[in-house]
Amino acid sequence: MMAMAALFLALFPANLFASNMLASLGDFYISAKGGWANPGKMNDNTSYYLTDIEIDSNPGFHMSGAFGEIKGAWRGEIELAMQKNDLYQWTRTNTNGATSKEIVGDVKIFTALGNIYYDFKGIPKWTPYVGAGAGGVLVDMGSVKYASGSTYVAGEANAVARGIACQATFGVSYEITDQFVWDMGYRFLWLMDSEFKAFPALEISSHNVTMGLRYLF
């Protein structure tokens, strides 16, 4: 009995320290989302002198997974995401006019972002939010060719570009249970420094609408 009491007294400070550490942490969560993604036109106006290049895309899909922590009204997370969009037209405009060509293939965008959100609490169950994030991006256009031949639009086979990605987002979440939260939001994704052989200053942005779940633990 005395031995058990001594062991309790020895472990009590460690238990107290661990409890205080846990109390200082917020709630953790994992999330999964999917939805609609629309980059619209991708533009490069520096490929050639007095030339503007536009690449047109169809709407596609977006999916992501994240791990984060909640501290009061703030949330921080690390998010991995990808989206895929089919491309269908390449247009070059210069002083002689515009020339368009049909293209086939798709563009894939992979991002690893650090995001921060602010939740507007106070409404039972419903929580509007705003957020922003930044990180790295990889853009894959290696499969895109002109429909009339075997030439790669991005200048070479297996063409990928790496750069910086930023995003701004807003949305609303709904507390289904104490652990499950439904989320729907809009995000504007902007990619910088995505340089390909044929497009040294390709500008890409995307309007994405997402829906998913967060699991708190």
Residue 3's pLDDT band, with cuts at 50, 70 and 90, is very low
Lowest mean pLDDT among 35-44, 96-105, 130-139, 146-155: 146-155
Encoded tokens for 82 = 């990808």
Q: What is the CA radius of gyration of the chain?
A: 24
Neighbours of 90 (CB within 10 A): 20
- 171 touches 183 (CB < 8 A): yes
**Distant-in-sequence, close-in-space partners of 66: CB < 8 Å, separation ≥ 6:** 30, 31, 33, 77, 78, 79, 80, 115
**String of DSSP letters for 19-56:** HHHHHHS-EEEEEEEEEEEE--EEEES-SSTT-EEEEE
For residue 15, the model assigns a pLDDT of 44
Could you tell me which CATH number the domain at 2-216 has? Answer: 2.40.160.20
For residue 96, the model assigns a pLDDT of 80
pLDDT tens-place string over residues 25-36 = 569 999 999 999
Q: Give the three-class secondary structure for 171.
A: strand
CA quadruple 67, 79, 88, 145: dihedral positive or negative?
negative
For residue 48, the model assigns a pLDDT of 53
For residue 130, the model assigns a pLDDT of 98
pLDDT tens-place string over residues 164-174 = 999 999 999 99
Greater pLDDT, 5 or 91: 91
Residue 97's pLDDT band, with cuts at 50, 70 and 90, is confident
The number of residues in the chain equals 217
Whether 199 has a pLDDT exceeding 90, the answer reads no
Lowest mean pLDDT among 16-25, 49-58, 81-90: 16-25
Greater pLDDT, 84 or 4: 84
Residue 11's pLDDT band, with cuts at 50, 70 and 90, is very low
Instruction: Give CA–CA dist 113/91, Å, rounded.
Output: 31
Give the closest residue to 172 by CA, choosing from 180, 158, 182, 163. Answer: 182
Q: How far is the CA of 80 from the CAs of 88, 96, 111, 131, 169, in angstroms?
A: 27, 43, 6, 16, 15
How much is the average pLDDT of 127-139?
A: 97
Q: Give the three-class secondary structure for 11.
A: helix
Instruction: Give CA–CA dist 112/163, Å, rounded.
Output: 11
pLDDT tens-place string over residues 99-113 = 899 999 999 999 999
Encoded tokens for 50 = 């007095």
Longest dimension (CA), the chain: 96
Encoded tokens for 90 = 């390449």
Percent of the chain beyond pLDDT 70? Answer: 86
**String of DSSP letters for 120-168:** ---SSSEEEEEEEEEEEEEEE-TT-EETTSS-BTTSSTT-EEEEEEEEE
> Across all residues in the chain, what is the average pLDDT?
86
Whether 41 has a pLDDT exceeding 70, the answer reads yes
How much is the average pLDDT of 4-32?
A: 54
